[in-house]
Structure 1
Amino acid sequence: MSDNRIDTNHFSIDVPVKEVMRYNPVTISSEANVWKAAEKMCQNGVGSCIVLQNNIPKGIVTEEDLTCKVVALNKKPADVYVSEIMSTPLITIDSEKTVGDATHMMVKNKVRRLPVVENQKVIGLVTVRDILSVSNELNEIMSDLIKVNHNYDEAMTGVCDICGKMSDSLTAEDGRLVCPECKQSDDTD
């Protein structure tokens, strides 16, 4: 490989979780009722509250918890305590870990939200949506770098400029990188 080309098989960007997380996550006391948790989520436009017991994070209550553990069972939200329905133990990630680490933790633990901790205190929250937004940006950067640094006479790996999907068989067409499926549909038009 010449010096001016990027080895796309080994290219990675380790973005720290603290760069993509949301700061000051919504919290609620474990003694609060579910109605209060739902009200806080709505007021703040979020899908979860971190549950605190004596100011120590003990769990998380999500929209899914409200739906499946209260509404679906026809329970009255004002009569159910957050501590009864919260997901626990709380699975957290250190603020210095990478987005890749967060993704692996989410998949392994089957969760969509990770409270971010620093010095044993929750300082933020990273969600699947936060990670996807970074991933899309990184895919666009990678595609641009490939265009600038790749020999267009051979197939390459990257993101198709038409459909946005990853492919290991991109070809250059009219200044764009195109996957075989999009190239075929473009040829038939």
Structure 2
Amino acid sequence: MSNTQDTMYFETRVPLKEIMRVNPTTIEAEATVAKAAAHMCRDEVGSCIVLSGNIPTGIVTEQDINCKVVAKDLKPSSVYVREIMSTPLITIETEQTVGEAAQMMIKHRVRRLPVVEGGNVTGIVTVRDLLSVANELNELMSDLIVINRDESFDMGVCDRCGHMSDNLMRVDSMLLCEDCQEEERLR
């Protein structure tokens, strides 16, 4: 943890290889959209990385199929993946971090990043993957705060009366001001 300008930041450098899904679903550019949809259903995923002769060239997602095929009332078995895929393919290297992946997703406005090593796709990371890591870190931080919390606090809002106080104290899992502490003692 570092403290910069009175704001606490939790620093983490989780490598992508720790959270990425390996062996992502792939499809050839010359395959039909129907085949891509079947692959996504089989693997229970929302995208296929598009290959042109083993070289990753694009990605096709459920949204691509819905907006570019279904919404236009086209027949999925008559449309080729290369016609609807998103390209160029935005990728990230395996040695990069979760934070760097999040920054790339924001910058490029994408929800999935194929993870590459030496030009070959080795995995994929999604917004959902990043959120699951964030949720786990938040839960851990919350637990750390609870176990390291002192019984006396400087300033805050009283849990009982809602007034600001510069002398809160924990009483039966509530933070109480001096007046409410006294009332609690008298009970």
* Distance in 2 of aligned mates of 1:33 and 1:176: 61
- Report 1 or 2 for greater relative contact order, CA contacts < 8 Å, sequence distance ≥ 6: 1
Gaps of 5+ in 1: 157-170, 178-189
Mapped contact 2:15–2:98 kept (Cα < 8 A): yes
* Distance in 1 of aligned mates of 2:154 and 2:16: 36
Report the AA paired with residue 62 of structure 1.
T
* Distance in 2 of aligned mates of 1:176 and 1:115: 47
Identity of aligned residues (%): 60
Mapped contact 2:20–2:125 kept (Cα < 8 A): yes
3-state DSSP class of the match of 1:122? strand
1:32-68 Cα offsets, whole Å, 9 max, x none, are: 0101000110111010000000100000000000000
Residue 174 (structure 1) shift: 4.5
> Structure 1 residue 123 and structure 2 residue 109: aligned?
no
Q: Which residue of 1 aligns with 2:24?
A: 25
* Distance in 1 of aligned mates of 2:147 and 2:54: 51
Aligned length: 159
* Distance in 2 of aligned mates of 1:15 and 1:155: 34
Mapped contact 1:116–1:124 kept (Cα < 8 A): yes
Residue 31 (structure 1) shift: 0.6
Mapped contact 2:2–2:11 kept (Cα < 8 A): no
Question: Under a length normalisation based on structure 2, what TM-score does the superposition of the two structures give?
Answer: 0.78
> Structure 1 residue 88 and structure 2 residue 87: aligned?
yes
Residue 172 (structure 1) shift: 6.1
Q: Which residue of 1 aligns with 2:107?
A: 108
Residue 96 (structure 1) shift: 1.0
* Distance in 1 of aligned mates of 2:113 and 2:154: 41
* Distance in 2 of aligned mates of 1:79 and 1:15: 43
**Alignment map for 1:153-168 (pairs within 5 Å):** 153-154=153-154
Computed over aligned residues only, the root mean square deviation of the Cα atoms, in angstroms, reads: 2.4
Mapped contact 1:34–1:82 kept (Cα < 8 A): yes
Mapped contact 1:112–1:128 kept (Cα < 8 A): yes
* Distance in 2 of aligned mates of 1:176 and 1:19: 38
* Distance in 2 of aligned mates of 1:173 and 1:42: 53
Report the AA paired with residue 153 of structure 2.
D
**Alignment map for 1:6-25 (pairs within 5 Å):** 9-25=8-24
**Alignment map for 1:168-187 (pairs within 5 Å):** 174-175=172-173
* Distance in 2 of aligned mates of 1:83 and 1:150: 56
* Distance in 2 of aligned mates of 1:62 and 1:28: 12
Greater radius of gyration (CA): 2
Question: Under a length normalisation based on structure 1, what TM-score does the superposition of the two structures give?
Answer: 0.77
Return closer, same or farther for 1:145/1:37 CA change in 2, 3 Å cut-off.
same
Mapped contact 1:35–1:78 kept (Cα < 8 A): yes
